[in-house]
Amino acid sequence: MSLLTIAETPVADLRRILELGAAVKADPLSYRGALGGRSIGLFFQKQSLRTWVSCDVAAIQLGIHPIVIRNDQTGLGTRETPEDVGRALERYLDLLGMRVFDHGDLAAIDAATEMPLVNLLSDREHPCQAVADLMTLAEHRPIEGSKVAYLGDGNNVCHSLMLATTKAGGSITVATPPGYEPDVDVVALARTFGDVDLTEDPHGAVTGADAVYTDVWASMGQETEADLRRRHFARFQVDDAVMTAAGPEAIFLHCLPAHRGEEVTDSVMESGRSRVFDQAENRLHAFKAILLHLLG
Ligand code: CP
Ligand code: NVA
């Protein structure tokens, strides 16, 4: 069993992972060493701080030996094919986590191997992030019936958030500039689970929201578009006026890294409504839950 997308994760599995995440966070000591004797790989084709460190520490605390594999040493798709990388690694590892540019590489490796594979971010989704996002939302109010507003790029993080929120019983409004909407297939799938509104009006989107979420305007690999995107996205910055429009109960979420002064102001990042470092912490508990679900 792999975890490549929230799209492919059954609702019951998502609920179980969220329950496990809350349980390991509440009582981490009772899970110490629970998966002893295993080895996992953590493969990075792009930069990472939170995912790298939280997954490494999660593995160690569960008794697993983690091995961080850097693409500049291994050459996915250049030194050898993704399938051959996966077929070699499955002879050593109990599970492989991968951060890749092209989601197709993950799908190819998953098809070529029996080893559980976890998406640590691709161009399509960021499922481990979505588990931590929902854990953070659930610490604020029950996800069932809650409303999330996402402002910015309809990207990987937005896709996983839309699918996870609706599968867990919430609704979501996504406000993007024209041309930056989330993928139509992801929207259609999320709508089979809950309400998904798309809009170009950021203030309208956040009205009545329990959480306001944003992500960088230019994701890793889109750096050359950064100037253009800063112009296109300027109206979608989460500032104090946006948080006021959301109402006093709304929390602020961001997967991080944040580009302060672009998609979010310092003032919102540092406000009492910001839960971004709780969210970052929850990446640790979320990855433990995913490991326990896939290997337990
Ligand atoms: N949120 C997240 O995935 O952070 P990193 O890119 O630092 O891993
Ligand atoms: N959308 C961002 C998320 C980083 C965690 C990216 O893909 O770069």
Using most ligand atoms within 8 A of CB, pick from 283, 284, 287, 290 the residue to mutate for ligand 1.
283
| Distance from residue 121's CA to the centre of ligand 2 (Å) | 7
Task: Yes or no: say if 290 and 160 are a contact pair by the CB < 8 Å rule.
Answer: no
How far apart CA 260 and CA 208 sit, in angstroms, is 25
User: What six digits make up the tokens of 222?
Assistant: 């889109």
Instruction: Please name which ligand lies nearest the alpha carbon of 216.
Output: 2
Q: Phi-psi bin for 145: left (phi > 0), alpha (psi -120 to 50), beta? A: left
Residues in the ligand 2 pocket, defined by CB under 6 Å: 121, 155-157, 215-216, 219-220, 255
Residue whose CA is at the smallest distance from ligand 2 atom 2: 219
| Distance from residue 124's CA to the centre of ligand 2 (Å) | 10
Query: 51: which residues sit within 8 A by CB, 6+ positions away?
Result: 44, 99, 120, 121, 128, 283
Residue whose CA is at the smallest distance from ligand 1 atom 6: 48
Instruction: Please name which ligand lies nearest the alpha carbon of 159.
Output: 2
Distance of CA 225 to the CA centre of its chain: 22
pLDDT of residue 36: 98
3-state class (DSSP) for residue 282: helix
| Distance from residue 270's CA to the centre of ligand 1 (Å) | 19
Catalytic residue among 45, 61, 129, 279: 129
How far apart CA 52 and CA 5 sit, in angstroms, is 19
pLDDT of residue 136: 98
How far apart CA 231 and CA 144 sit, in angstroms, is 36
Residuewise pLDDT in 10s, the chain (296 residues): 999 999 999 999 999 999 999 999 999 999 999 999 999 999 999 999 999 999 999 999 999 999 999 999 899 999 999 999 999 999 999 999 999 999 999 999 999 999 999 999 999 999 999 999 999 999 999 999 999 999 999 999 999 999 999 999 999 999 999 999 999 999 999 999 999 999 999 999 999 999 999 999 999 999 999 999 999 999 999 999 999 999 999 999 999 999 999 999 999 999 999 999 999 999 999 999 999 999 99
Task: Yes or no: say if 114 and 269 are a contact pair by the CB < 8 Å rule.
Answer: no
| Distance from residue 53's CA to the centre of ligand 1 (Å) | 9
Amino acid identity, position 203? H
pLDDT of residue 120: 99
H-helix or E-strand spanning residue 252: strand 251-254
pLDDT of residue 190: 98
pTM to 2 decimal places: 0.98
